[in-house]
Amino acid sequence: MKKLAVLFCLGLLAGAVWAAAEQASIDMVYQLPEDELHDLKERIESREGLRQLSYMKEMGMGDGQYELVDLDK
- DSSP output for 25-41: HHHHHHTS-HHHHHHHH
Query: Tell me, what's the pLDDT at 10?
Result: 76
Q: Which pLDDT value is given to residue 53?
A: 92
pLDDT at 55: 94
| pLDDT computed for residue 35 by the predictor | 86
Q: How much is the pLDDT for 12?
A: 82
| pLDDT value, residue 3 | 61
Residues of the chain short of pLDDT 50, as ranges, are: none
Task: Sort residue 24 into left (φ over 0), alpha (ψ -120 to 50) or beta.
Answer: alpha
| CA Rg value for the chain | 14
Do 53 and 64 form a contact (C-beta atoms < 8 A)? yes
Rounded distance, CA 44 to CA 6, Å? Answer: 15
